[in-house]
C-alpha cells in the first residue's frame, strides 16, 4: 500500500492508498516525462464541454454548489449511493470473471499492430476489461470491454516523440477485431 498526497493552494494532505492518481492541468508547466507516462495504467483527457446546453448545466451546478454545498450534496446522494453499491458488487464479482483465451490473443494482436513497447499495456488493457465486465455485472469479458479498455490504456502509450500527443489508429484496431470475429 502506498500513500496518496494531495497538494493544492499551499495545503497538503496524505492518506494510505492502493492506487496513484496523477493529475495535471497546465500545459504551460510542461508535459510529464515519457518514461513516466508509460507507467500510468489509464489516462483520461478532460476537455471543456462544447455543447451549449451541457455548458449551461455545468455552470448551473457549479453555482448551486457554491450557493449551498450541503444541499447540493444531498441532491446527488442517492445517485452516489447507487454508484457506490455498483462498485461494491463489482469488487465481489472480480474473482469470478472469466477471460476467454481468444481475448488474450486479441489483446496481444492489438498491441503488436500498434507497435506498443513492452507488455505493460497488454496487462493494463486486460485488467481494465475485467474490471469493466465486473462493473457491468457480467462474469465474462467481451470484445467490447477490450475496446473500452484500449481507449483508456493505450492513447498515452502511442507517443513516439517526447511531448507528442498520443493518437490511436482506430482503423488498425478495428481491423484486428474484425479479423478476430472471422
Tell me the C-alpha distance between 156 and 151, whole Å: 10
CA atoms within 13 A on the CB side of 68: 4
| % of the chain with per-residue pLDDT over 70 | 88
What average pLDDT does the chain have?
87
Q: Among 1-5, 32-36, 112-116, 165-169, whose mean pLDDT is lowest?
A: 165-169
Give the contacts of 133 (CB within 8 A, at least 6 positions apart).
97, 139, 140, 141, 142, 145
Average confidence (pLDDT) over 60-67: 96
- Helix %, strand %, coil % for the chain, to 5? 60, 10, 35
Q: What is the pLDDT of residue 5?
A: 81
| pLDDT at residue 30 in the model | 73
Least-confidence region, from 3-17, 21-35, 105-119, 139-153: 21-35
Q: What is the pLDDT of residue 27?
A: 66
Taking alpha carbons only, the member of 174, 181, 169 closest to residue 102 is: 181
Instruction: Give all domains of the chain, ordered by start, each with its CATH number.
Output: 96-181 (1.10.8.80)
74 pLDDT tier (thresholds 50, 70, 90): very high
**How many angstroms separate the CA atoms of 85 and 131, rounded?**
15
Question: What is the C-alpha R_g of the chain?
Answer: 19
The residue written with cell numbers 508547466 in the block is: 29
Contact 123, 154 (CB under 8 A): no
Give the integer Cα–Cα distance in Å for 45 and 171. 21
The string of pLDDT tens digits covering residues 79-134 is 999 999 999 999 999 999 999 999 999 999 999 998 888 899 999 999 999 999 99
Q: What is the pLDDT of residues 44-57, one digit of tens each?
A: 777 889 999 999 99
**Residues recognised as catalytic:** 120
Amino acid at each position: 500500500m502506498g500513500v496518496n498526497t494531495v497538494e493544492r493552494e499551499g495545503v497538503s494532505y496524505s492518506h494510505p492508498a492502493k492506487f496513484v492518481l496523477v493529475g495535471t492541468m497546465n500545459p504551460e508547466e510542461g508535459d510529464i516525462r515519457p518514461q513516466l507516462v508509460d507507467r500510468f495504467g489509464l489516462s483520461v483527457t478532460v476537455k471543456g464541454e462544447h455543447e451549449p446546453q451541457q455548458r449551461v448545466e455545468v455552470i448551473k451546478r457549479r453555482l448551486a454548489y457554491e450557493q449551498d454545498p450541503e444541499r447540493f450534496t444531498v441532491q446527488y446522494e442517492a445517485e452516489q449511493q447507487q454508484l457506490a453499491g455498483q462498485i461494491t458488487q463489482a469488487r465481489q464479482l472480480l474473482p469470478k470473471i472469466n477471460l476467454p483465451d481468444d481475448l488474450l490473443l486479441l489483446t496481444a494482436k492489438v498491441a503488436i499492430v500498434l507497435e506498443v513497447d513492452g507488455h505493460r499495456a497488454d496487462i493494463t488493457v486486460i485488467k481494465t476489461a475485467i474490471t469493466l465486465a465486473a462493473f457491468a455485472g457480467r462474469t465474462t469479458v467481451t470484445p467490447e470491454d477490450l475496446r473500452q479498455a484500449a481507449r483508456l490504456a493505450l492513447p498515452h502509450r502511442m507517443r513516439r516523440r517526447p511531448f507528442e500527443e498520443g493518437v490511436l489508429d482506430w482503423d488498425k484496431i478495428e481491423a484486428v477485431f474484425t479479423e478476430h470475429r472471422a
